Amino acid sequence: MMNENYISQEGLDKLKEELKELVDIKRPEVIDRIANARDLGDLSENAEYHEARGDQSFIEGRIQELESLIKNAVIVSSNKNSKSVSMGSTVHATCDNGLKMKYAIVGHSEADPASGKISHVSPIGQAFLGRSVGEEVSVKVPSGVLKCKIDKIE
């Protein structure tokens, strides 16, 4: 499958929840806004109508995106006994600049570096995949090359 979306069960549940809200709540709301704006008359100068149509376009696009992500979902789970980093693993590492990092390796659709979740296709994610505790990885970053030693895999 070319469009596989590697995702945790938790991530898939969040996508389904967002889709349900868009379909059951947001879509009907914007349809009502469009209908009410149409009742105001001349559509060419009706800012409310144009804003609602823009919102509708965004909502419909997001619904299509979510449906595709859910349809192509491949559930990954962490293997707590794994000796090497894989999808679903949480990696603890110490870098040569003294920075300690902890990242969960996730699919691209649930990546959120600020929350400690990095994509398996990101430079750091790719550097960690398949590596074991004690191994050192080098990651090309904008400021040069960052070297990190894997301390723990969960």
Per-residue pLDDT of the chain (154 residues; tens, 9 = 90+): 458 888 988 899 999 999 999 999 999 999 999 999 888 877 777 888 999 999 999 999 999 999 999 999 999 876 666 789 998 899 999 999 888 999 999 998 899 999 999 999 999 999 999 999 999 999 888 888 989 999 999 8
- For domain 90-153, say whether CATH 3.90.420.10 is its number: no
- Predicted local distance difference test score (pLDDT) of residue 2: 56
Distance (Å, whole) CA 100 – CA 116: 12
- For domain 5-75, say whether CATH 3.20.20.70 is its number: no
Every domain of the chain and the residues it spans: 5-75, 90-153
Question: What is each CA distance from 39 to 30, 56, 139, in whole angstroms?
Answer: 14, 17, 58
Using a 10 angstrom Cβ sphere, with 0-12 exposed, 13-18 middle and 19 or more buried, the burial of residue 50 is middle
Q: Is 11 helix (H, G, I), strand (E, B) or coil?
A: helix
Q: Is 147 helix (H, G, I), strand (E, B) or coil?
A: strand
Distance (Å, whole) CA 104 – CA 88: 6
- Predicted local distance difference test score (pLDDT) of residue 79: 67
- Predicted local distance difference test score (pLDDT) of residue 1: 43
